[in-house]
Structure 1
Amino acid sequence: MWFSALRPLCLTALAAVALLPGVSAEAMLTSNSLNTCQENSMFTASLFKVVYTPSNSSASLSIVATSSVEGSVVFDIAISAYGYEIIRTTIDPCKTGLAGMCPMTAGKIPLDFVLPVGKDAASQIPGIAYTFPDLDATVKVTLNMTDTGESVACVEADISNGKTVDLIAVKWILAIIAGLVFCSSAVINGLGHSNAAAHIASGALSLFGFFQAQAMLGLTGIHLPPVVQSWTQDFQWSMGIINVNFMQDIFTWYQRATGGTPSTIFDSLSTVSVQVEKRGLSLLPDAAVDLYRRSASMLPRAAGALLKRGNVTTGSGSFLVYGIQRVAFKAGIETTNLFMTGLVFFCLFVVFTIAGVAAFKGYCELAAKQKWIKSDTFLEFRNGWLTVLKGILFRLTLIGYPQMSILCLWEFTQVDSPAEVVLAVFFLVGMTVTLGWAASKVIRIARRSVAMHRNPAYILFSDPQALNKWGFLYVQFRASAYYFVIPVLGYTLVKSLFIAFAQGSGTAQAIGFLIIEAGALIAASVLRPWMDKSTNSFNIAICAVNFINAIFLLIFSDVFNQPAIVNGVIGLILFFLNAIFATVLLIMVIISTTLVFYRKNPDTRYQFMADDRASFMKSQSQLTGTTELDALAATARGDKAGYSKHGLDLDDDNESISSASLRRRTDTSNLELPMADPNSSRGRNNSNPPRSPVDPSVPLFPASGGPQRAPSPYSDSPGSFRAQNNSTPSGFRAQNNASPWQRGAGYDH
C-alpha cells in the first residue's frame, strides 16, 4: 500500500531533479530528507533517503514516515529547478489505480526497498542533470482532501546529483597559495627588499581577508542556494573549520570531561534525517516554530539540551541545521565540537609558526657558519629574530581575530561546557586587548614622530624594532593613515557580533552586513588609506564585491518576498561573480610574487611611496658608510648590529602592559641618554621637549613646490663644500647619513 503511495512522489522527484546539473564518480540523483512545507502537516518523515542510479535503472529508498491522513486525497505535484517551476500536475490515486491510497489510512510507515525505474521515466532526465554541480532542484507534493479541497499535508524533497564545488583540492590549493605568499614576503623582507616585501605582504593580507569574508557568508543564518553554500564551504579552512577525525574524538572526550553534553547528529544519520534549512527561522510561521518547541519538549533530556544550544528538532523528529551549524554539518563536524576545532587549529598554527621561525633561525646560523650563504644574508633577522618573531605573532593574532571572535562569541550562546566558555572568554578578551594595545602603541609612536619630525613615517619606519614588532598594523597603509587599523578591528568585531548573536534572524544579519559593508566601501573609497594607488584599487575592489554580496544576502533573506526564481538566479550570479573575482585576485598575487624572485632589485618594480618611508627603512646591513667610530660607539652602548639598546628606543619598544615592563618604564636608569653633542647648549635638560635633529626652518621633506628647500651641498664651490662638512668624509656622513643608532633618537648631528 505505502509502496504504491510513495512511488509517484519518488518518480516525480527524480524526474524533477534531473532537469539541472551536478559532480561524482557515478551518475546518480539523491535526496536525503523529506521536509514539511506547511503547518501541522499530517504526513511527515523522520528519515527519507532516495538514491537513483541510471546505470541499473533503480532507486533505493529508506523511509520512516508517519501519516495521520484518512480519506480520499489527490496529490498536487510541483517540480522546480532554481526556483523556476518546470512541471505541475495532479494525480488522483483512485483514478490511477494506486492500491491502498484510495482511501488513505493513518499509520507509521517504515520502508526499505528498491524501486525499479522504467526507461520512459529515465528518458525524461537530461544528461546535464548528472554533471552540473550543486543542483537546486525540488519536488513538492501537497495532499488535498478530495471532498473539501483542504490541504492536509505538504512535503518537499531537495534533489542532488552528488557533484559539488565544495572540493578538498580547491581548499588545499587556496591554503597553499596563501601560505606561500606570506612566506615569500617574509623571505624578501629578510633579503633587504622592504618595499617589495611590503607590497606582497599587503596583497597576501587582503587576499586572506577576502577568503575569510567568503567564509563569513556561509556562517550567516540566511538561506543560501546550494551552490553558494558549497562555494563558501571552500573557504571555511580560513576560519579554522577543518575536520580531522581523531581530533574530533578528542574534542568530544574533552567536552564530556568538562561537564558538557556532545551532540550526536552524525551517529543518528542512519535513523534520522538532517534538514539543511530552506528558510531562515525568523521567516518560518509562528505555528511552525511552536511546533519545533513542542516537539523538543517531548524529547529526552539530552535532545532538549541540544535544542538550547541551537540544534532545532522538527516535529517529525529530524534535525534542522542552519547558519554556523550548517557549516559544521557540511564539514562533517559535530556542532558542539566546532568551537574547539577552530580554537585548536589556531593554536596549532601559532605553534608551528614559532617552530618554523626558530628552525629557520637555526638553519641561517648553520648555513652562515658553513659558508653556504654569505655572512650578511638575513643578517637583520639573525640578529633580531626574537623581535621579528614577536611581530609575526602579532600578525597571526590579527589574521586569526575574525575566526576567534566569531567562534568565541558564538560559544557564549552555545555553552558547550563550562571549560569551553572560560577558553572563549580568555581568547576573545586576550586577543582583543592585545590588538587594541598594539594599535594604541602605533598611534602613540606616530604622534611622537609628528611632534618631533613633522612626519609620522620617521619613527614608524626608521626604527627597526618598531617596524619589525608593530609594522604588521601599518605597513600596508600610507604613513598618514596609521590609525586605520582601528576601523579595521572595529569592522571585524561588529561583523562577528552580527554573525554570532543573530543566527536566528536572517533579516537582521542581512541588514547588518549591508550597513557594515557599505561603511567599509565608503571609507576605503574616500580615505584610500593603503600605501599606493594599486594597493588601494586592489582593496577597494574587494570592498565592492563584499558590498555586492551583502546585497545578495538581503535578497536571500526574502525580505522583499520575491519569487523563488530570483533567489535561484542570484545564487548563480553570486557564485560566478565571486569565483571569477577570486581567480583574478589569485592570479594577480601569484604573478606579483613570482616576478619579485626574477628581479635583481625587486624594489624597483614598485614605485616608492609618497610618504618617503623608503628613506627611513634602509636595511642596517646596507649602511656601508658606517665607520669605526660608529662601531666603537655601538659597542660602548651595548648595541647589537644596529639594534638599539633596551631603554633607548624612541618608540619605547620594551613598553608593554606587563608589570615588569611598567617597572622598567619607571626606572630612571633607563631614561639616561648619552649626549650626542658635547657643545650643545641643551645638554640633558629634561625640562625641554624632545626636538628633531632636523632644523624646522629647513624641513627634511618639504612639500612639492614649497618655498623652503634644503640647501644643496653642490651649490657652492668644492672648497666651501668641504669646509661645510669639516673637510672629512666622516663629517659629510655625520650630517647627511646619521649612524643607525642615532636615527630617530632626537640627537643633533
Structure 2
Amino acid sequence: MRFPSILPLVAAVLPGVSANTRLLQSTSLNVCQQDSMFTASLFNVTYSPDTGRASLNIVATSSLEGYVTFDVSIAAYGYQFFHQVMDPCEQTLEQGSGLAGLCPMTAGKLRLSFEYDIPDSAAAMIPPIAYTFPDLDATVRAFVNRTETRESVACVEADISNGKTVDLLAVKWVLAIISGLTLCASAILNGLGHANAAAHIASGALSLFSFFQAQAMMGLTGIHLPPVVQAWTQDFQWSMGIIKVGFMQTIFTWYQRATGGEPSTIFNTLVTVSVQVQKRGIPDMATNLYRRAAGMVPHAASALMKRANITTGSGTFLVYGIQRVAFRAGIETTNLFLTGLTFYCLLVVFTVGGVALFKGFCELAVKQKWMKGDTFLEFRNGWLTVLKGILFRLTLIGYPQMTILCLWEFTQVDSPAEVVLAVFFFVGMTVTLMWAAWKVIRIARRSVAMHRNPAYILFSDPQALNKWGFLYIQFRASAYYFIVPVLLYMVIKGMLIAFAQAHNEVQAIGFLLIEAAALITASVMRPWMDKPTNSFNISIYAVNFINSLFLLIFSDAFDQPPLVNGVIGLILFFLNAIFATVLLIMVVVSTILVFYRKNPDTRYQFMADDRTSFLKSQSQLTGTTELDALAATARGDKRGYKPGLDLDDDNESISSASMKRRTQDSNLGTRPASSFNSAASNSYGHSHGNPPHSPIDPSVPLFPAGGPNRAPSPYGGSSAGSFRQQENASPAFRAQNNAR
C-alpha cells in the first residue's frame, strides 16, 4: 500500500455539507502522546469519492530529524480494521506532492497545501456506509518511530466524519414547539375550569422538559463522549438556553469588554488554528500540556487557553464539557453564560407579556360578546395571582439551567459584572424556590392541623393553588414536600457539572450516585399524583440512571478497550432516541385527546387524596342565586373577592377564613348575598393565641342540597356523589385515602 492512500480516511466534520454529498473530512490533527515531537496547528483534509481527489491544508511543527517510519492504524467505533507500518522513503511519491520533506524528516515548520488523486484501490477499502451513517466514529492514528531504534517520538490522530449528523435544527424546533404547546394547553384547560386534566397535562409536559434538560446535562459533562452522543445531546441544549443568535453574540462580546473582561476569539482564528473537540483521550496528558503551556505564552494567549480549556502547546486548542457544547453551538466560550442568562430572561419577559395580552383579549372578547362572560372568569378576576404562579413555575423550569451556568461562571470569571449577575440569579432563584417550598410545607401542615388532610387548603384555596400549585400539584397531597428533594437533586447535579469539568471519574461517579438515589427514592415513595404519572416519571429516572452508567464507562474508569466505548455510544443513542420519541408521542396524544372530550376531566381518574372534593370548576358554577354568591365569595371572585387576603400574610390561610365564612351559619343557603362581604371582613380577624382548629361543621355540607335554584355540581353526578360521601366520611377513612 502506498503511503498517500491513507489520506482519504483522515477526515472530520465541517458545517454546511449537503445531505447528498459524499464526503470525508478532518479539521484537526490531535496529539495522542506526551512530549510529541510532531504537532499540527492547522489540519484540514477533505476527500470526495465522487471526484476521487483529496485536498490538504496543513501547518505543522516538527522537531524530528532523520529517518522515521509511520505506524498507521484505522479504527471505527473502537474496532481496528487496518494496521500497517510504512517507510516514506520506500514509497514512490509523485513529484510535487508536497511530501518530500518526510524522507528524511527535517526540523522546522511545515506548510503543505495541495490536492492529490486517490488510487481506486485505496478508495475501494472504504465501505459505503461510511458516507451515510451520521456522526461517524472513526479515527486514523499514526505513531512516528525512529527507523534505527523503533522508539516512538510522536503520535498524531485525526477523527473522521462524513458531514452527516443527528444534530439537526429541525429536531430542536420540533422539541421546543411541542414542549411550549403542551404547557400552553395545560394553562388553557386550567382557565376553562378543567383542573384535573390541566394538572395531568402540565405534569407530563414538565416531566418531558426535565428529561430534555437531563439529556442536555449529559452533553455538558466533561466526560469523553462518542461523536453520536455529542451530537444527540446537542439537540437538547436549547432547553439550557444555549442558542446562537449572531447579533446577540456581538452584543455579549461588547458587554464583556466594557465590563473589564477579555473575550475569547476561537472562531476568529479557525483559519489558522485547529480546535480539537475531545472525544476520548488521556486526561493527565492534557493537564500536563496545559500546565507547561501556561508558563510559556503571554497573558493574552493564556487567557484564551483558559477559555478553550487546554492548549496542546502547538496552537491547537482542546475543548471539552461545557465549552465543547459552546463550540459546537458556534458560541464563543466567554459568551456562553450571557447567552443562557439572556434567553432565560427573554422567556420570562415574553411570558409576562403574553399573559397580560391574553388578559386584555379576554376582557375585550367579553365586552364585545365574542365569548361568554364566565369563560376564563377565575383567570380574569385573579390574573395577577395566576401570573405570580407562572413566574414561580418559570423559575423552577429555568433553575437547572441557571444553576449550572452561574456556578460555572464562578470558575471562569469572564468579567466582574458577569460574576455579579451569576451571584444575583443563583442566590435569588435558590432563595425564591426554597421560600416557596417552605410556604407550601407550612400551608400543608396548617391544613393537617385544622382539617386532618393536607389537600384541604392546598387545593380548596384559589390563592394557594394559583400561586404555589406549581410546586405540589403534580404530587399526591401527602407528598407535598417532595419538591425539596427535587431541588436538592438539581443543585447537586449542577455542582457536579460546573465544578468537576476536568475530573472525569469524579463527575461520572457523582452522576451515578445521584441518579441511583433519585431512582430509588422515586420508586419507593411514588410521590406523583396517580399510577400513570408515577410510571411516567420513574421511567425517566430509570433511563437517567442507565445513562449515568454509560457515562461511567465513557470516563475510562474500567480501562476498557475502545470498542466498548464505540458500542455503548450507539446503544445510548438508540435507547434515548426511542425513549424520547415514546415520551413525545404519549404527551402529544394525551393532549390532543383531552381537547376532543366534552369534559376533559373525565379522561383521568380522580386522585385518591381528596383533592377533587376541594377543586372548584369555575366554568360550571353558573346562575345568579345566593349559592352562586357564596361560591364566588369562597373562590375569591369579584362579588366576594378581597385582595387583601393573601397567603403571604403569616396570620392565617385565606381558605380557613373562607371556609369559616361558608359554614359559620347553618342558614348560609338563604342568607342574602350582600352579607357575605361583611362576613368575609369579620371572620378573618381571629385570635392568634388560640390553637388552630377546623371551622367546618360536619352537619353542614360544602354545597347545600335542595331548593329549586340549586347550582349543578361541578364534577358531574358520580363525582358529586363521591364528594358527599367523603364529606361525611370519618377521619380514619380520609387518612386511608390520603395515604394511597
Interval of TM-score (by shorter of Structure 1 and Structure 2): 0.7 to 0.9
C-alpha distance in 1 between matches for 2:276 and 2:337: 22
CA deviations over 1:569-607 (Å, ceiling 9, x no partner): 000000000000000000000000000111101111100
- The change in CA–CA distance for 1:74 and 1:611 in structure 2 (over 3 A counts) is same
- The change in CA–CA distance for 1:464 and 1:646 in structure 2 (over 3 A counts) is same
Partner of 1:469 in structure 2?
467
C-alpha distance in 1 between matches for 2:135 and 2:237: 18
Contact 1:502–1:508 (8 Å) recurs in 2: yes
1:492 equivalenced with 2:490 (yes/no):
yes
Amino acid at match of 1:124: M
SS of 1:285 mapped into structure 2: helix
Equivalent residues in 2 for 1:227-626 (5 A)?
Answer: 227-279=228-280, 283-285=282-284, 288-309=286-307, 311-624=309-622
SS of 1:124 mapped into structure 2: coil
C-alpha distance in 2 between matches for 1:204 and 1:540: 15
Amino acid at match of 2:483: V
Per the TM alignment, residue 68 of structure 1 is displaced from its structure 2 partner at its CA by: 1.3
Contact 1:220–1:499 (8 Å) recurs in 2: yes
SS of 1:79 mapped into structure 2: strand
Q: Show structure 1 runs of 4+ deviating over 6 A.
A: 632-635, 673-676, 698-701, 724-733
Amino acid at match of 1:123: A
Per the TM alignment, residue 115 of structure 1 is displaced from its structure 2 partner at its CA by: 1.7
- The change in CA–CA distance for 1:699 and 1:489 in structure 2 (over 3 A counts) is farther
C-alpha distance in 2 between matches for 1:184 and 1:630: 28
Partner of 1:210 in structure 2?
211
SS of 2:484 mapped into structure 1: helix
Partner of 1:32 in structure 2?
27
C-alpha distance in 2 between matches for 1:169 and 1:12: 30
Contact 2:192–2:618 (8 Å) recurs in 1: no
Contact 1:328–1:335 (8 Å) recurs in 2: yes
- The change in CA–CA distance for 1:217 and 1:675 in structure 2 (over 3 A counts) is closer
C-alpha distance in 1 between matches for 2:613 and 2:665: 28
CA deviations over 1:25-81 (Å, ceiling 9, x no partner): 411100010011111111110000001122221111111001111122111110000
Per the TM alignment, residue 642 of structure 1 is displaced from its structure 2 partner at its CA by: 6.6
Contact 2:189–2:197 (8 Å) recurs in 1: yes
SS of 2:243 mapped into structure 1: coil
Per the TM alignment, residue 294 of structure 1 is displaced from its structure 2 partner at its CA by: 2.0
1:93 equivalenced with 2:91 (yes/no):
no
Unaligned runs of 5+ in 2: 94-99, 668-682, 714-719, 722-726, 728-740
Per the TM alignment, residue 364 of structure 1 is displaced from its structure 2 partner at its CA by: 1.0
SS of 2:638 mapped into structure 1: coil
Equivalent residues in 2 for 1:1-80 (5 A)?
Answer: 7=4, 9-11=6-8, 13=10, 24-80=19-75
- The change in CA–CA distance for 1:580 and 1:632 in structure 2 (over 3 A counts) is closer
Equivalent residues in 2 for 1:143-222 (5 A)?
Answer: 143-222=144-223
Amino acid at match of 1:158: D
Contact 1:23–1:161 (8 Å) recurs in 2: no
Contact 1:47–1:271 (8 Å) recurs in 2: yes
C-alpha distance in 1 between matches for 2:144 and 2:688: 90
Amino acid at match of 1:272: V
Contact 1:134–1:230 (8 Å) recurs in 2: yes
C-alpha distance in 2 between matches for 1:675 and 1:190: 24
Per the TM alignment, residue 114 of structure 1 is displaced from its structure 2 partner at its CA by: 1.4
Amino acid at match of 1:94: C
SS of 2:111 mapped into structure 1: strand
C-alpha distance in 2 between matches for 1:188 and 1:311: 48
Per the TM alignment, residue 515 of structure 1 is displaced from its structure 2 partner at its CA by: 0.3
C-alpha distance in 2 between matches for 1:675 and 1:510: 57
Contact 1:726–1:732 (8 Å) recurs in 2: no
Contact 2:508–2:548 (8 Å) recurs in 1: yes
Between 50-59 and 316-325, the greater mean CA deviation after superposition: 50-59
- The change in CA–CA distance for 1:278 and 1:728 in structure 2 (over 3 A counts) is closer
Per the TM alignment, residue 678 of structure 1 is displaced from its structure 2 partner at its CA by: 7.3
Amino acid at match of 2:429: M
Contact 1:309–1:415 (8 Å) recurs in 2: no
Unaligned runs of 5+ in 1: 656-661, 702-712, 714-723, 738-742, 744-749
Per the TM alignment, residue 12 of structure 1 is displaced from its structure 2 partner at its CA by: 5.1
CA deviations over 1:466-492 (Å, ceiling 9, x no partner): 101110000100000000000000000
- The size of the alignment, in residue pairs, is 688
Partner of 1:654 in structure 2?
648
- The change in CA–CA distance for 1:465 and 1:506 in structure 2 (over 3 A counts) is same
- The change in CA–CA distance for 1:348 and 1:684 in structure 2 (over 3 A counts) is closer
SS of 1:271 mapped into structure 2: coil
Per the TM alignment, residue 24 of structure 1 is displaced from its structure 2 partner at its CA by: 2.9
Per the TM alignment, residue 633 of structure 1 is displaced from its structure 2 partner at its CA by: 11
CA deviations over 1:290-346 (Å, ceiling 9, x no partner): 333222322232121233446311111111100000000000000000000000000
Partner of 2:123 in structure 1?
122
Amino acid at match of 2:420: V
- The change in CA–CA distance for 1:285 and 1:678 in structure 2 (over 3 A counts) is closer
C-alpha distance in 2 between matches for 1:638 and 1:598: 28
SS of 1:70 mapped into structure 2: coil
Partner of 1:141 in structure 2?
142
Per the TM alignment, residue 100 of structure 1 is displaced from its structure 2 partner at its CA by: 4.3
Partner of 1:717 in structure 2?
none
Contact 1:24–1:161 (8 Å) recurs in 2: no
Amino acid at match of 1:132: F
CA deviations over 1:436-485 (Å, ceiling 9, x no partner): 11100100010000001000000000011110111000010000000000
1:82 equivalenced with 2:83 (yes/no):
no
Contact 2:31–2:312 (8 Å) recurs in 1: no
Contact 2:6–2:122 (8 Å) recurs in 1: no
Per the TM alignment, residue 11 of structure 1 is displaced from its structure 2 partner at its CA by: 4.3
With normalisation by structure 1, the TM-score equals 0.86
C-alpha distance in 1 between matches for 2:592 and 2:710: 41
Choose which of 693, 696, 706 in structure 1 pairs with 2:695: 693
- The change in CA–CA distance for 1:81 and 1:140 in structure 2 (over 3 A counts) is same
C-alpha distance in 2 between matches for 1:344 and 1:303: 28
Contact 1:220–1:509 (8 Å) recurs in 2: yes
Per the TM alignment, residue 527 of structure 1 is displaced from its structure 2 partner at its CA by: 0.2
Amino acid at match of 1:645: K
Coordinate RMSD, CA, aligned: 3.2
Contact 1:647–1:654 (8 Å) recurs in 2: no
Between 308-317 and 205-214, the greater mean CA deviation after superposition: 308-317
C-alpha distance in 2 between matches for 1:168 and 1:376: 42
Between 314-323 and 339-348, the greater mean CA deviation after superposition: 314-323
Per the TM alignment, residue 725 of structure 1 is displaced from its structure 2 partner at its CA by: 8.4
CA deviations over 1:128-163 (Å, ceiling 9, x no partner): 111110000000011111111100111100011001
Per the TM alignment, residue 728 of structure 1 is displaced from its structure 2 partner at its CA by: 9.3
